[in-house]
């Protein structure tokens, strides 16, 4: 029993991979900072331009805990060069961004395979990921994570329209419960 308690208290390595919209990137970055503040290692995955445009992670104890990984967004016919988020596009071109995003499946699979290698090291990673926190658009990520036996937390914001706001909040909070996110400082 004591071993179980120690295992539950051990810091986690969480990979965070939001959809390519700043309404998703910023909250997921905030989640990453809060996880890092609790002692967990976080790998935040996005595209090079989005990583460059995100606010910096405060150096006071967090920057060493949050590692940014930039996966190049594949070119798609009709998608303007340099367009890596919904902020870069008119609404009628977002489908092109989704198509390019789907092209991140292979690079993400390579990243996760390296991160989950036998020794658990990939470049600067000190251990294999315990969790992959993903967003709504990652239909291809679950099989990749399953192949590498990585646990997934799916945060599907549109679920609130199908199952009611309270159910969505419960699902979101319960998915964060494993990380100790139920304290009063969650909203501060």
Mean pLDDT (whole number) for 10-14: 88
Report which of 94, 129, 134 is spatially closest to residue 14, judged by C-alpha positions. 129
pLDDT in tens, 124-181: 556 789 888 888 777 888 888 888 888 777 665 544 333 333 333 434 444 444 445 4
Residue ranges of domains in the chain: 2-187
Q: Which residues are catalytic?
A: 24, 135
| Residue 96: C-alpha distances to residues 22, 24, 87, 137 (Å) | 17, 18, 13, 13
Threshold 0.75, pTM exceeds: yes
CATH number of 2-187: 3.40.50
Quick one: tokens of 59? 């150096």
Tens digit of each residue's pLDDT (9 = 90 or more) over 26-79: 999 999 999 998 889 999 999 999 999 999 888 776 767 899 999 999 999 999
Distance, CA of 97 to CA of 188 (rounded, Å): 33
| pLDDT of 121 over the 70 cut | no
- Listed residue (122, 118, 142) closest to 17, CA to CA: 142
């Amino acid at each position: 029993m004591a071993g179980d308690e120690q295992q539950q208290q051990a810091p986690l390595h969480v990979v965070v991979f939001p959809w390519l919209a700043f309404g998703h990137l910023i909250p997921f970055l905030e989640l990453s900072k809060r996880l890092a503040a609790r002692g967990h290692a976080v790998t935040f995955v996005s595209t090079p331009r989005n990583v460059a445009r995100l606010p910096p992670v405060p150096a006071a104890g967090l920057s060493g805990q949050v590692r940014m990984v930039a996966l190049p967004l594949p070119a798609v016919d009709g998608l303007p060069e340099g367009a890596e988020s919904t902020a870069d596009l008119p609404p009628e071109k977002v489908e092109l961004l989704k198509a390019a995003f789907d092209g991140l499946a292979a690079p993400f699979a390579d990243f996760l395979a390296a991160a989950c290698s036998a020794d658990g090291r990939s470049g600067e990673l000190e251990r294999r990921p315990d969790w992959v926190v993903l967003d709504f658009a990652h239909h291809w990520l679950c099989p990749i994570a399953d192949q590498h036996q990585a646990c997934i937390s799916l945060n599907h914001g549109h679920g609130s329209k199908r199952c009611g706001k309270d159910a969505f909040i419960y699902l979101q909070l319960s998915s964060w419960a494993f990380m100790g996110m139920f304290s009063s400082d969650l909203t501060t």
